[in-house]
Structure 1
Amino acid sequence: MSADTARAAEASDPVADARDGAVAIAGRTPWQIVRTRLVRDKVTMVAFGVAVLFVLLALTAPLMTRFGIINPYLNNSDLVGGLGSLPIGDFGGVSWEHPMGVEPGTGRDLLSRVLSGLTVSLVVATSAVAISVVLGTIIGIVSGTAGGKVDWFFSRLIDFVLSFPQTLMLIALSTITIDLLQSALGVGRTPASMLFMIAVMGFFGWPYFARIIRGQVLSLKEREFVEAARSLGAGRGRIYFKELLPHLWAPILVYMTLVMPQNIATEAALGFLGVGIQAPTPSFGSILNDSVHYATSDPAYFIFPGLTLFLVVLAFNLLGDGLRDALDPKADRQ
């Protein structure tokens, strides 16, 4: 082949042309991939915004109460035509000063009570989820990694705890346990009721999560990075919390967002049944329990708190579903 022919062949070489015109492709971290998926999911982003709004309202409600911006305990007898009467005005006394109207019989501002009830619900739900996550993560990692008799023991313990119906135990143990907490800690009934619900919901919630973590650990513990850590003499603590735990943040995050609305609904249900937070302390359950008696005469008293509870639960459910899809490594292949 002559020199001119070789130069012509090199000039028309498609591989060389592609190499010369190649554009460097930047890699993306897992978090960048997840963030891109979330931004594309408009429903999840709206749910995230609504959930953040409710969390901010719950956090600022005690401050607004302290500085007099809202007052969930102030009786406004002039707004109900006297104590025991229905609100004055249309749709439960809705006005610029009282956007959700006022409470029948007392005239207390309904928006103030809903915001204070939101604080109670989120404190109980978040604390119970934290207990479930901590216990479930530790037991799931230890059970899945150790195997043998340790795995058998924790598996039977999970089965034992799951055999108790959570709602029934909450109702059955509420009175005596709350009284014991009041006398032992020297606190009022509302803090004792909150501690009771947090402890019971957190204790009965960890087995579900422990099973999820155990299943993840069973596949992770055979991976090369775990074997490499063992070969270098890493102890159990390092393998548990330095090698395995960073790979479990995705199911932990999804679990938290999916269980949060369940705990919020459970707290409201207990208050509705009369075994949760008791009046005059505002909570979704106690407000809805009282509003049933005015369902026909003052429907706004039921609609506004019920709609707020519905939006809170729906926002966290949609956020959990969106996170689960975004964290799925096979999502882009479907």
Structure 2
Amino acid sequence: MAGQSKAAVAAAESELTGRSPGQLMWRRFRRDKVGVAAACVVLFFFAIGLLAPVISWLYGKDPYTRYGQIDPTLLNEYGYPVKPNGGIDGEFWFGLEPLMGRDVLTQLVYGIRTSLFIALAVTVLATVTAIVLGIAAGYLGGKWDYAISRLIDLLMAFPNQLFFVAFLPIVTSLFVDPRQETPTYIRVVSVVVVLWILGWMTLARILRGATLSLRDREFVEAAKVSGASPWRIIRKELLPNVVSPTLVQTTYMLPSFVTTAAALSYLGVGMTEPTPDWGRMFATGARVYKSDITYMFFPGIAMVIFVVAFNLLGDSVRDAFDPKSDR
């Protein structure tokens, strides 16, 4: 009986122990089964992208070899797989790419790696830029706020898709002579730079508004009275209080950048042959769907699952930070 009473007292004390906002957020998130499942799917995609070389090694194939040339019996005279369902069999699990005769599974795995790397790099750069400029505009006010706000208005006035298509070749030409073949890493850098330029403004505007509502609060005034520098106030007082909108918005930004990068490759101004990429696979599928609709199935399903999972994860993170929400 004494042991049971001590256990009950310990349990009651643990319930009364104060929890940090992060702990409360994590506790609410764990109760959201949809959010946890979406997080598992997202982690699975990142694991696939990270382990793409290992998967290729275990599978015994790579995304660049034209297996249709090595074994001409795999493709017919028009360049399409001879076997049904796009050439799916025990050797080529997802079939063969029409015309080129490359393995679809390794193309998809490396395509996930390319798309996620670009989107992750853009998301990090855009988030850091938005944090610096958004919080600076909201806290410093005056001329700083006016200049940064007008810059945001100017960049948000650009039609994004048209800007991407028009300026990506220009940015690429800054790194390499247009008469020469553009290396893959130059194309990656160009896509990242162009998406970054027009990818930070929405979050910066959100953080500016959040900072405006925080800068006159008592804890900020107390930090000023104590003699803290503006940099210390921003770093110690304001930044921890804008983690919630930053994290939520970031979970929406990354899948948006994935689809945008794929759209650029689809239009022919992003990643090109022979680099594996989701958008380039869609472009090939759009050309051959009448003769081989199976090829479009795998990248299409993969992108739909990834985008839906990341959006559900964003909703769950938002609800976890906001206990008043009822989704």
TM-score > 0.5 by shorter chain? yes
Does residue 35 of structure 1 match 2:35? no
Give the equivalent residue in structure 2 for 1:265.
Answer: 259
Give the equivalent residue in structure 1 for 2:79.
Answer: 85
Q: Does the Cα contact within 8 Å between 1:84 and 1:106 map onto a contact in 2?
A: no
Q: Does the Cα contact within 8 Å between 2:271 and 2:277 map onto a contact in 1?
A: yes
Does residue 201 of structure 1 match 2:192? no
Shift of 1:23: 4.5
Give the equivalent residue in structure 2 for 1:327.
Answer: 321
Does residue 231 of structure 1 match 2:222? no
Give the equivalent residue in structure 1 for 2:150.
Answer: 156
Q: Residues 106-151 of structure 1: CA distance to partner in whole angstroms, max 9, x if unpaired?
A: 2211010011111111111111111111111011111101112221
Give the equivalent residue in structure 1 for 2:3.
Answer: none
The counterpart of 1:103, out of the listed 90, 97, 102, is: 97
Shift of 1:183: 4.2
**Equivalents in 1 of 2:91, 2:18: separation in Å?**
54
Where do residues 207-286 of structure 1 align in structure 2 (5 Å cutoff)? 207-286=201-280
Does residue 123 of structure 1 match 2:117? yes
Shift of 1:42: 1.2
In structure 1, stretches of 5+ residues that fail to align are 1-19
Task: Report how many aligned residue pairs link the two structures.
Answer: 312
Give the equivalent residue in structure 2 for 1:58.
Answer: 49
What's the TM-score, normalizing by structure 1?
Answer: 0.87
- Quick one: structure 1 residues 292 and 23, their matched pair in 2 at CA, closer, same or farther if it must change by over 3 Å? closer
Where do residues 289-304 of structure 1 align in structure 2 (5 Å cutoff)? 289-304=283-298
Q: Does the Cα contact within 8 Å between 1:124 and 1:198 map onto a contact in 2?
A: yes
Shift of 1:63: 4.6
Shift of 1:67: 7.8
Query: Quick check: 238-247 or 84-93, which moved more?
Result: 84-93
Larger Rg: 1
- Quick one: structure 1 residues 270 and 130, their matched pair in 2 at CA, closer, same or farther if it must change by over 3 Å? same
- Quick one: structure 1 residues 257 and 140, their matched pair in 2 at CA, closer, same or farther if it must change by over 3 Å? same
Give the equivalent residue in structure 1 for 2:167.
Answer: 173
The counterpart of 1:314, out of the listed 301, 308, 313, is: 308
Post-superposition, which runs of at least 4 consecutive aligned residues in structure 1 deviate over 6 A?
A: none
SS in 1 for 2:208: helix
Give the equivalent residue in structure 2 for 1:6.
Answer: none
**Equivalents in 2 of 1:187, 1:217: separation in Å?**
46
**Equivalents in 1 of 2:111, 2:174: separation in Å?**
24
Q: Does the Cα contact within 8 Å between 1:80 and 1:87 map onto a contact in 2?
A: yes
- Percent identity between matched residues is 38
Give the equivalent residue in structure 2 for 1:4.
Answer: none
Q: Does the Cα contact within 8 Å between 2:265 and 2:279 map onto a contact in 1?
A: yes
In structure 2, stretches of 5+ residues that fail to align are 1-8
How big is the alpha-carbon RMSD for the aligned residues of Structure 1 and Structure 2? 2.3
Where do residues 9-48 of structure 1 align in structure 2 (5 Å cutoff)? 23-24=12-13, 25-48=16-39
Shift of 1:282: 1.1
Shift of 1:39: 1.6
Q: Does the Cα contact within 8 Å between 1:83 and 1:106 map onto a contact in 2?
A: no
